[in-house]
Structure 1
Amino acid sequence: MKKFTLLFICLLSIQAFSQKPVILISNKYEFQKKPNTYNINNMLKAVLVSNNYEVYFDDEPLPAEVANNRCDVLTGVLLDKSNMFMTKIKLQIKDCQNMILFETDEVKSKDKDIQAGFIETIRLLSPELKKFKPSIKKQDVVTIAKDETVSTSQKYQLVEVTNGYVLMDASLKAKLQIYKTTNPTVFIADKFGVKGVFTKLPNKGIFEYYMNDTLVVEEFLF
């Protein structure tokens, strides 16, 4: 049985961190000598925002809800295929495993001014982006009263590894990575980017971490 107990709060609502696809882009791609050359990167951000993306540069601080859910975050890679006669670019959208989910057709401009050519091609990416329909991971809104628990009938098992344990459910899906400390019953735990303390008891483990400044306690029965 798995229990969630929320301390020091009467009601808590947990929601998906974004209702828009979140994408990271670079402030300096491989073909650029300096950040934001020809205003390419700011233009790309504006085009993505206009297509309903939540956009961040990969060198800026990220909100905690984005940083803790990196496998729900896309990456945009701009490729320059230009030659001396024409500006040509395309955009790849990748997942957190660096797999290409979508690639635009090559967009082109014959404008002889380099900056004008890039601005035109960036704008031409907008209709291309409409061809891609990214899935958005949505979580149900859960409201929990103080001292109330949400339970399932699932049990878990600890699989020992070199530096600690992996907590797995009945389908052998990893739920927590647990790392040893100098105390044999206290561990550092990582739940898909959410880090906290795991206490190992004879027939259960307790995982404690903070969410939105609220202490959350999860119990895993073995």
Structure 2
Amino acid sequence: MKKALVLLAILFSGFCFAQSETINNYKYVIIPEKFSFLKEPNKHNLNTLTKMVFEKYGFTVFYPNDQMPQDLMLNKCGALYGDLVDDSGILSTNITILLKDCSGKVVYTSLKGRSKEKDFKKAYYEALREAAASMAALNYQYNGTPILQAGHPNPNATASVPTTPATQQAVATATPAATVTPTIVNENQLFAQPIANGYQLVDTTPKVVARLYKTSQADYYSAQGEGKTGVIFKKGNDWFFEYYVNDKLVTEKLNIKF
């Protein structure tokens, strides 16, 4: 029995090391204000405690409606999304901590925390503490590698430059002293087709020109396509694609039909 426990510990440590290689690429974690298994936001202070757990292990943590830094606002795939899974039974309360990327792929699963406390609040606290203790094996430390898309760090740490004439014109006219972001008007009709975790935009060819990935905010998507990575969002009745070219923010107005 003792040998089996030692072997399990070694396997878990190796698994955590493999996970940490990916997780170290992420600086931010976004957690919901209400977990799906509870009826109220922050019931039993569980969301607050979960935020504290991630902060304890070095992450910068936000709720979806918090004011976020510009790099995260422009690329929600730069964050992991924290969640709790409750698979409690009759005799115990069971909690597992998950981390997912912006496409919904699970990149970390903690050990299951258990409690036999009868009081729900105490049981959740104890189970969360036990699950959180296994996170120490991650040895998390942000390595500064930007994430351009779900699960894929940018090896060059700079966004690729689009070569369309409209983009080149925007770059040429943008200056460091400019206070207004240039807007490119893309009059091509684009059609949004549902895919897993978002949409793909196709033109009339038809050709896939971009993919949109859902975030926790309505009408706000992480986007990538044709050498551009940024966000697509709705403002008023119009849709816009914002991305960086040579460290300058470019805004492209899109004609999207959902």
- Common fold by TM > 0.5: yes
Deviation at 1:132, TM superposition (A): 3.3
Deviation at 1:156, TM superposition (A): 5.8
Deviation at 1:137, TM superposition (A): 5.9
Q: Which residue of 2 aligns with 1:149?
A: none
Deviation at 1:175, TM superposition (A): 2.6
Deviation at 1:133, TM superposition (A): 5.6
Q: CA RMSD in A?
A: 3.6
The question of 1:175 aligning with 2:181 is answered no
Amino acid at match of 1:21: K
Q: Which residue of 1 aligns with 2:95?
A: 89
The question of 1:25 aligning with 2:31 is answered yes
Check 1:139–1:117 CA distance in 2 against 1; reply closer, same or farther (3 A cut): closer
Q: Which residue of 2 aligns with 1:190?
A: 242
- The structure having more radius of gyration, on CA atoms, is 1
> What secondary structure sits across from 1:131 in the alignment?
helix
Structure 1: state its 5+ residue gaps. 1-18, 141-153, 168-172, 178-187, 199-222
> What is the alpha-carbon distance in structure 1 between the residues aligned to residue 82 and residue 39 of structure 2?
19
Q: Which residue of 2 aligns with 1:180?
A: none
Identify the match of residue 78 of structure 1 among 81, 84, 107. 84
Deviation at 1:82, TM superposition (A): 1.1
Deviation at 1:192, TM superposition (A): 6.5
> What is the alpha-carbon distance in structure 1 between the residues aligned to residue 36 and residue 91 of structure 2?
21
Q: Which residue of 2 aligns with 1:210?
A: none
Q: In the alignment, is the contact (CA less than 8 A) between 1:26 and 1:59 conserved in 2?
A: no
> What secondary structure sits across from 1:112 in the alignment?
coil
Deviation at 1:135, TM superposition (A): 7.5
String of CA shifts for 1:78-115, please: whole Å, max 9, x gaps: 11111232110101110111111011121101111110
> What secondary structure sits across from 1:46 in the alignment?
helix
Q: In the alignment, is the contact (CA less than 8 A) between 1:20 and 1:52 conserved in 2?
A: no
**Greater strand fraction, Structure 1 or Structure 2:** 1
Deviation at 1:57, TM superposition (A): 1.2
Amino acid at match of 2:227: K
Q: In the alignment, is the contact (CA less than 8 A) between 2:26 and 2:79 conserved in 1?
A: no
Structure possessing the higher relative contact order (Cα contacts under 8 Å, 6 or more residues apart): 1
> What is the alpha-carbon distance in structure 2 between the residues aligned to residue 43 and residue 133 of structure 1?
20
Q: In the alignment, is the contact (CA less than 8 A) between 1:189 and 1:195 conserved in 2?
A: no
> What is the alpha-carbon distance in structure 2 between the residues aligned to residue 131 and residue 68 of structure 1?
31
> What is the alpha-carbon distance in structure 1 between the residues aligned to residue 119 and residue 127 of structure 2?
12
**Greater helix fraction, Structure 1 or Structure 2:** 2
> What secondary structure sits across from 2:137 in the alignment?
coil
Identify the match of residue 40 of structure 2 among 34, 43, 52. 34
Compute the TM-score of the two structures, normalised by the length of structure 2. Answer: 0.49
> What is the alpha-carbon distance in structure 2 between the residues aligned to residue 108 and residue 155 of structure 1?
50
Amino acid at match of 1:125: A
Check 1:189–1:59 CA distance in 2 against 1; reply closer, same or farther (3 A cut): closer
Identity score, percent: 20
Compute the TM-score of the two structures, normalised by the length of structure 1. Answer: 0.57
Q: In the alignment, is the contact (CA less than 8 A) between 2:46 and 2:125 conserved in 1?
A: yes
